[in-house]
Chains A and B, each alone.
Chain A
């Protein structure tokens, strides 16, 4: 009974690519994978574990989800509301620091992967 968040079974989809969203998620326990779907194929982007978050882009843009997130094993996830998050940042801008830091890491990671991909060509 203890523990926060909502439980997802293995294989259960938490967010689906193309859907609109108004919250982000923090993994409390378990593991998820982010997959991009294109031309009927799935490309696994990354896996994420406890204390990592996803879906943060929906908080800053009114765009659709860019990837599908699926639990790879029984997973518990906490939802962060857009209203709560943006209200918090309005009160205390440093609340966004960790998100900005993580997004920065992800851009660096994507840049590295793109460079490797170009080298492969």
Chain B
């Protein structure tokens, strides 16, 4: 029986503590993970690792119709493909190292492009700690190289831990008696003690769950644009270097734009409020973008997609024997979605192994993380609205350029603006942390000074514009 109003997704859970034991997993329990993107694979990996630690013998079935060995959309989970330095360090601490065949390029700096000039923001350690990766196995028209999909690598780790991969498309999840049943497009059906939804926001599963449960709201989404330009390794090395190029342009509805060098390709990632043809036209026609490409000519893209991203969390993201992780539940606004997938996956795995799989267990041990992410996203919205104001005000852009460029020349003084921009672009720190740092009196004082100095006639920012038009690269 389809439980139209009873998927067990409840906002307020008032069970007694003694019921908790009923939700504990036992030897022989079975878990279904729907979707083998980073959230699904990391859940399976951590769940099986923790279960092994406490001697719990459980089975994990991962449902994923996609094959990450395929090139183009068939093997891709559609995202910009950047793993933040915070996540790189966390994964390394966990013992998960990204092999060179997965890392398309190590990023060691960000270059900010504005109409008033460019500035490169380098990591203080001069070390590559940000990874540019492909979620699938490369763009549609790419020739086979010795590269591997990031998602495929994580899936392989989960498989090595004992997860079973089932190449089927899940079309329905139902509550049947005291278990959850998973139904596939080919009529295959199986029952589980826990279903973990990690299918992201581009699958129809969350839509189906919303239609089944009157109190469940799937994540709100917006359309983005991602494409790949084939430029060749040598051209990319000379033109882009190991730097991610970020654009702060006065284009309405555009929140973030970046060119990410990867192997023989450069990935363009446009995030904002429903990216459309008009916005893209304005972006591609801006000289700051054109000057990034050899001869100021933007080549045809080899592969492109319009994936949707989560801009507001699913509510609630859990129920009895059901939990939503990664983009299907809560994720960070615009940045570090893979980092949020790691955190939510691990928190859900810990809850299931050590506490139980009831809504009460998830509310107590999983919901606080989701709430923290959601609160931080509210601050993030404010931070991006301030960035939008900066996009509109040239004098502010000159001040930021002046302050950042001066900081990059120094080795001892605090790099307040550089650090704020670095963490904002890379997603390495929470939006709350970034925002609080901008309230520091020294930051405010320095910004005010640079707003004045940077706008004086003859300042670098004022001269930069004409220089930028001439050679496409201004100052560091």
Contacts and interface: CB of A to CB of B under 8 A. Distances in A.
Given A2-B103, A5-B106, A92-B346, A51 B89 contact: no
A6 B104 contact: no
Interface of B is mostly: mixed
A92 B89 CA distance: 14
Interface in A74-113: 78-81, 84-85, 88, 91-92, 94-95, 98-99
B103 A4 contact: yes
A5 B128 contact: yes
A1 interface: yes
A71 interface: no
B422 to A, nearest CB: 13
B131 A4 contact: yes
Contact of B90 (A2, A5, A51, A95): A95
Contacts of A84: 86, 89-90
Contacts of A94: 50, 346, 350
Contacts of A120: none
Contact of B106 (A4, A29, A79): A4
B93 A6 contact: no
Given A50-B97, A79-B127, A2 B89 contact: no
B94 A85 contact: no
Which of B88, B89, B263: most chain A CB closer than 10 A? Answer: B89
Interface residues of A, number: 25
Contacts of B104: 2
Nearest to A24: B93
Given A51-B95, A84-B89, A5 B346 contact: no
A41 B86 CA distance: 39
Contacts of A99: 93
A69 to B, nearest CB: 16
B237 A1 contact: yes
Given A3-B103, A4-B103, A78 B94 contact: no
Interface string A18-40: 00000000101100000000000
Contacts of A50: 97
Which of A4, A6, A79, A81: most chain B CB closer than 10 A? Answer: A4
A4 B85 CA distance: 10
Contacts of B343: 91-92
Given A26-B92, A78-B92, A80-B93, 5 more contacts: A6-B125, A26-B97, A29-B100, A51-B97, A92-B346
Interface of B: 50, 86, 88-90, 92-95, 97-98, 100-101, 103-106, 125-129, 131, 233, 237, 242, 263, 343, 346-347, 350
13 contacts: A2-B101, A3-B100, A3-B106, A4-B88, A4-B103, A4-B106, A6-B125, A26-B92, A28-B97, A29-B100, A84-B89, A84-B90, A98-B94
